[in-house]
Amino acid sequence: MNKKQPKFFQKSSKIVIKLPKILIKKNDKVLVLSGKDRGKTGKVEKVLRRNGKVIIPGIAIVKKSTKPTKKNSKGGIISMPSPVHISNVALICPKCNKKAKARLKKVSGKKERICKVCKEQI
């Protein structure tokens, strides 16, 4: 059997969605490089791969007004961290406590992050 693939499929297979390379993972310690929270450090709570952004509690706080809901009958203003683009944060190596420029290295078939400063696996 040599079935030809339909044309539309061949076309769409050429489209490659490039997601930004994110070396930052959840629970990583990061340093904020820009914005009003510049210089602060925090722990990554969530990585938004699609947007290339991370959420760090206590960083880039925005105040949002909420309408009263069943859970929160009063509504009002809540403070919540807004996503920060990964280019605005730097990973801090837990081993040497320095701004680590991590790179990926294949270690026994697995991709591991290596700190460029102390060459340790992070």
Query: Where on the chain is the footprint of Zn ion (CB under 5 A)?
Result: 93, 95-96, 100, 115, 117-118
Q: How near is the Cβ of 28 to Zn ion at its closest, in Å? A: 12
| CB-count exposure of residue 35 (10 Å: 0-12, 13-18, 19+) | middle
Which lies closer to Zn ion via its Cβ, residue 31 or residue 117?
117
Instruction: Residue 59: name the closest of 77, 75, 83 by CA.
Output: 83
80 versus 104: smaller Cβ distance to Zn ion: 104
State which residue, 43 or 95, has the beta carbon closest to Zn ion.
Answer: 95
Nearer to Zn ion, 40 or 95 (CB): 95
Nearest approach, Cβ of residue 24 and Zn ion (Å): 15
CA 108 to chain centre: 25
Question: Which residue bears the tokens 């990061």?
Answer: 30
Cβ count within 10 A of residue 16: 6
CB 90 → Zn ion: shortest distance, Å?
A: 12
The number of beta carbons lying within 10 Å of the beta carbon of residue 119 is 10
